[in-house]
Amino acid sequence: MDSPPEAASATQPPPRARGPGYTLPVLIAALAVASALVAALVGTMARHDEQRRREDGRGALRELALLLEHGYASQGRYPRTLEAAGLPERSPAGLYALSLVAPRPDADAASYLLRAVPLGEQAGDPCGAYTYDERGQWTYNISGAAAALDCRVD
């Protein structure tokens, strides 16, 4: 004789009630989204640091150009070297060596060419050295095609 249905259900464990919380697939998806956001943030921070280091050299050239123009306005000539003018030969953060060529080899006596050559941790930068002349023209040496947009001077 068969046992009544009530007796059979008494031997099986009761169904598990779900408590508050998240399922494993939901947790994995959330972790994947968070990882993607962190990766994007790290990449953005690295590009910002590159631009900040490059601005150390470009900003130093801008400042030197202003000082040279001020000296030219008061003395009627550009100095031959930065040292002779009492101007710095390193960028503020020390990431670039600064130099002056006056006059420019391809111009008259009322000209100059400022150069910022990367040093130390900046030496491997694909933008290479920056130059700036009395006409306000910038040049830089690109060692990789992808670096062209990051090297521009605004």
Domain boundaries, the chain: 25-151
How far is it, in rounded angstroms, from Cα 78 to Cα 68? 6
Q: What is the pLDDT of residue 151?
A: 75
Q: What is the pLDDT of residue 146?
A: 47
**Fold classified for 25-151:** Pantoate--beta-alanine Ligase; Chain: A,domain 2 (3.30.1300)
The single-letter DSSP state of residue 21 is: S
As a whole number, the mean pLDDT across the chain is 81
Minimum mean pLDDT range among 12-16, 62-66, 75-79: 12-16
Q: CA dist 130 to 97, 110, 140, Å?
A: 10, 21, 4
Model pLDDT for residues 95-126, shown as the tens digit of each residue: 999 999 877 776 677 888 999 999 998 888 88
How far is it, in rounded angstroms, from Cα 87 to Cα 71? 11
pTM over 0.85: no
Q: What is the pLDDT of residue 96?
A: 94
First to last CA, the chain: 93
